[in-house]
Structure 1
Amino acid sequence: MPGFPDALTLGPDDTVWYEHSAAGDKVFSRVDLKQGPTQITRLDTQFSVVAMTEGPDGAVWFTQSEEYDAKQREGIGRLTSDGKYRKWPLPANSSPGALVAGPDRALWFTDSAGISRIDTDGDLTRYPVRNATYLGDIVVGTDTSLWFTADHRIGRLTTEGRMTLWPVPDAEDLGALVPLEDGSFWLADRKADVLRRFTPPQ
């Protein structure tokens, strides 16, 4: 296995895609049980990939942060199965994090200001989250809205841009969340070192 594999996702070809480093380059590969790892592309630069997901266009999309040279800026990257890479730069200090394919043929991700949406043409829309210092995870809920964690709160954002936030009792620093069929969520509270279950008010 090449060095320092990190973010990974199921790709459009039923293999696992992952990113890793090799001699100062950023490498994207895929692996299956029959053929083992196969390199997709190698870029002569370095950056950190925080999250990856298959997009609605059959490509793999990912958030890029912690750029290490002048060629790079924080951004959203796209990679096809034949190795074609493209990036859309983001405003300075965006700090893109968690990423999910939405129900509207767009990608939704957390950043330093809130929740952002980018469509497959690269058009970007940003939705600020008031009074938030840290955005954690983002997922598609059972109601097909976007759900996310922000400090001690859980939020819901519709694809039309309507946002609602609820404080989670006793929560300190929420990260990952998992939606359940009954409309509740499992939440990881990193600072309190506990898992919480929360049902937003109807």
Structure 2
Amino acid sequence: MATPTANSAPVGITAGPDGALWFTENSANAVGRVTTTGTFTEYAVPTTGAGPADIVAGPDGALWFTESNAGNIGRITTGGTVTEYAVPTSGAYPWGITVGSDGALWFAEPGANQIGRITTGGTVTEYAVPTAGAYPLSITAGPDGNLWFTEVLSGSIGQITTGGTITEYAVPSLLSLPIGITAGPDGNLWFTDAGAAQIGQVTTAGVFTGYDLTDAVFPFPWGITAGPDGALWFAENAGNDIGRITTSGTISELAIPTSGASPLEITTGSDGNLWFTENSASQIGQVVP
């Protein structure tokens, strides 16, 4: 389904509290909404060139999103009212965002090498990642009450408590580039490893298992989410596939009809289907599991 604005470059996507899917339009500088029947609405982000990236349903009934270029955290109600909060550190380039067990929003700052926390009232706290130049990108709430995030350039998975204590675990795979991360139904964390062309699993104790993708082309897996069927679903940005992996490691892949779509993020919708962004095609895709 094509977005109303051409060349919108959608990135993040999440299920909203209203039953619709909400997504960011990085190039169109907007937040989009699409119903499960395919009706679109777009809302402009007030700051010009903000570069909206990731998005999540907040604990307050609104959607929260990162503005990578502007260095803001945005909040949008289901009625389309946008509020923006500045991240204190210049050049933070906020990207991934999730809801923590403490009821706050937690986000990754790859540009500043920090993890940020913002309350629903707009108060921001930042925590430095111990490894310099780690480039934290994606973040998710873990089954242990902590937040877990990917460190793209250090090849590690990080854990941060709601009190701000960070632990880092090195991914054992050679050439590891961890990108997306999500909590799995098995009590572990699952992540995409673009460098190793794998889907990785890490326990809350830091024990890793890697599962190889078998695409003939370099797949560069990006976003990953827990599906309604007890499996993990992921987007292969360069492979142009949507993949599925069971918690025991069995992988299957589905080709996206539009060639060169460059899928990025994926989520489960209120209809029980998987919804994903097609960044280069400026489309929203749906997979029926």
TM-score range, shorter chain: 0.7 to 0.9
Contact 1:168 / 1:198 at 8 angstroms: preserved in 2? no
The amino acid that maps onto 2:146 is: A
Select the structure with the greater relative contact order (CA < 8 A; seq sep ≥ 6): 2
Contact 2:66 / 2:96 at 8 angstroms: preserved in 1? no
Structure 2 CA distance, aligned partners of 1:2 and 1:138?
A: 29
Structure 2 CA distance, aligned partners of 1:183 and 1:127?
A: 26
Which moves more between the two structures, 75-84 or 7-16? 7-16
Q: 2:134 matched to which residue of 1?
A: 94
The amino acid that maps onto 1:149 is: T
Contact 1:40 / 1:81 at 8 angstroms: preserved in 2? no
Say if 1:80 and 1:179 are closer, same or farther in 2 by CA, change over 3 A.
closer
Say if 1:39 and 1:180 are closer, same or farther in 2 by CA, change over 3 A.
closer
Say if 1:139 and 1:19 are closer, same or farther in 2 by CA, change over 3 A.
closer
Question: 1:66-111 deviations in whole A, cap 9, x for unaligned?
Answer: 2xxxxxx310001112222111112311010111011111000010
Structure 1 CA distance, aligned partners of 2:62 and 2:90?
A: 25
Structure 2 CA distance, aligned partners of 1:166 and 1:177?
A: 14
Structure 2 CA distance, aligned partners of 1:161 and 1:105?
A: 15
Residue 141 of structure 1 deviates from its aligned partner by: 0.9
Q: Does 1:145 align with 2:185?
A: no
Q: Does 1:76 align with 2:115?
A: yes
The amino acid that maps onto 1:109 is: F
Contact 2:53 / 2:96 at 8 angstroms: preserved in 1? no
Contact 1:142 / 1:181 at 8 angstroms: preserved in 2? no
Equivalent residues in 2 for 1:50-199, closer than 5 Å: 50-66=95-111, 73-90=112-129, 91-111=131-151, 112=153, 113-130=155-172, 131-150=174-193, 151-170=196-215, 172=218, 173-180=220-227, 182-199=229-246
Q: 1:69 matched to which residue of 2?
A: none
Q: Which runs of 5+ in 2 are unaligned?
A: 1-44, 251-289
Contact 1:25 / 1:43 at 8 angstroms: preserved in 2? no
Q: 2:284 matched to which residue of 1?
A: none
Structure 2 CA distance, aligned partners of 1:110 and 1:25?
A: 22
Structure 2 CA distance, aligned partners of 1:126 and 1:169?
A: 28
What RMSD over aligned residues (CA atoms) do the two structures have, in Å?
A: 2.5
The amino acid that maps onto 1:190 is: N
The amino acid that maps onto 1:82 is: G
Q: Which runs of 5+ in 1 are unaligned?
A: 67-72
Q: Percent identity?
A: 30
Question: 1:83-142 deviations in whole A, cap 9, x for unaligned?
Answer: 221111123110101110111110000103221101011111111112133112111111
Residue 31 of structure 1 deviates from its aligned partner by: 1.9
Q: TM-score normalised to the size of structure 1?
A: 0.83
Q: 2:90 matched to which residue of 1?
A: 45
